[in-house]
Structure 1
């Protein structure tokens, strides 16, 4: 964890991190943190600092690198997304001129629907149901649009020399990701994929006759493993601060999901 070389005596890192985990686990406001975690201002300030500097993302990549070095990662990657309702406190940013932080989007990944404000978590997990990469978008963003940016976020460093591992061996996804552009992208990268074809795409291909080409390969036995990513979402939503979004900014909510993902990895290695 980063530390300041000068200043007041530093509050114990374990104590502060436990406060962050307790907040995400219960979903309570920062001001209501129990006294055993120290001043809530200290816990919040350090969480916000770590969120903006990407500390939790780096910690997640580090534990992934250790698992990859031990051959513990199943590179049969599954991708999917889930909708998260945003609490009314998440929309109260208090800024009228848009986002002042250039590292965060102006909409703060909050989308409007009939049910209210929503956020979508796009997730790529390995064959054992552990998060490899995540992407936060507004709730109305289509899954197929975010498939390529999500896969490009997979970056598992090497403990020794060498480039990070960025390419899955195989990708499993549902019909929402069935598009010619995404399949072409996977073929160019040499990534095998198991994605069912939509009914309208099947009709269009048959109507084109020989010009429609052959149907894409689809292995039903491999596709049955897609429930792994659903179980990963279920474990992440055991954290009430992730099942319902209370964070006002995208950086804070993404940091909360990254911290929860790190805990899932820590329990499995």
Structure 2
């Protein structure tokens, strides 16, 4: 059986990434030519996929300091967010973004060296952690994300996530409503009110702590359709896709925007991969 090399950048992928990278300014006075963009991008993807330290990057892939500098440069230029947007557009063109059923949830990762968007994780003995909040469409493709400290409650991140959409959201209508599936952490009256104002139909699993008078079935949701079960599994599946990119399993980056850039890159690559296989 032939082993796959998921960190390799194909010609097809590079043709879609290349237009997103700004042209480098000319240097009429000469000097050493800049490292090749494709080689630098391939090295960044290698770091993201394998989780290797920058200083441990194989020399044949590029000098670690050069690759890191290019990563920070592209981060500042918004290249990785544009790549995510391009991946979603490619997915929308081939498959179509399913706005009718959306799901949101969050997960926490350790962040031992972080200096921003970090806090004590209540589920990990107060160790430093970062919470990643994600919004997905019906098929589990990422539409928005935000990060914050692990001590930040899921419900406090929901509207920051909805405001961080990287694709243009159509207005919901009676014929084409937009449903949002959430777990019991979001079972609050204030959440429902804000979601209705935004045009969402919430489907939230009941939190038994707030509904002691009622014992719902295991998967029943608090929605206008009492028998409707929340479709949260797609966002949970997306987190498993995200964790295949080993650089994201533990947040080693000190800066919040650096870790977020890695997340944006992973989201874009996942969108391109999904569209290519469907």
Pick one of 123, 132, 150 that aligns with 2:161. 150
Pick one of 251, 269, 272 that aligns with 1:263. 269
Residue 107 of structure 2 corresponds to 82
Query: Matched residues in 2 for 1:27 and 1:115: separation?
Result: 24
Q: Do residues 60 (structure 1) and 84 (structure 2) align?
A: yes
Which of the two has greater helix per residue? Answer: 1
The 8 Å contact of residues 108 and 250 in structure 1, kept in 2 or not, is answered as yes
* Structure 1 residue 5 displacement after superposition: 2.1
- Provide structure 2 residue ranges, at least 5 long, that are not aligned to the other structure: 1-20, 173-177, 215-221
Equivalent position SS for 2:97 = coil
Residue 94 of structure 1 corresponds to none
Query: Matched residues in 2 for 1:128 and 1:82: separation?
Result: 19
State how 1:125-140 maps to structure 2 within 5 Å. Answer: 125-140=136-151
State how 1:162-201 maps to structure 2 within 5 Å. Answer: 164-165=168-169, 169-201=178-210
Change (3 A) 1:227 1:124: same
Change (3 A) 1:86 1:4: same
* Structure 1 residue 62 displacement after superposition: 2.2
What's the RMSD between the two structures over aligned residues?
2.1
Query: Matched residues in 1 for 2:170 and 2:111: separation?
Result: 31
Aligned residues between the structures:
235
State how 1:37-116 maps to structure 2 within 5 Å. Answer: 37-70=61-94, 72-75=96-99, 76-87=101-112, 90-91=113-114, 107-113=115-121, 114-116=125-127
The 8 Å contact of residues 87 and 269 in structure 2, kept in 1 or not, is answered as no
Equivalent position SS for 1:129 = coil
Q: Whose relative contact order is higher, 1 or 2, with alpha carbons under 8 Å and at least 6 apart?
A: 1
- Provide structure 1 residue ranges, at least 5 long, that are not aligned to the other structure: 92-106, 157-163, 206-214
TM-score by length of 1: 0.80
Most deviating of 64-73 and 254-263: 64-73
Residue 51 of structure 2 corresponds to 27
* Structure 1 residue 38 displacement after superposition: 1.5
The 8 Å contact of residues 194 and 219 in structure 1, kept in 2 or not, is answered as no
* Structure 1 residue 147 displacement after superposition: 0.7
For residues 32-89 of structure 1, the C-alpha deviation after alignment (integer angstroms, 9 at most, x for no partner) is: 11112211111101111222332211221122133334452122111000010124xx
Q: Do residues 4 (structure 1) and 24 (structure 2) align?
A: yes
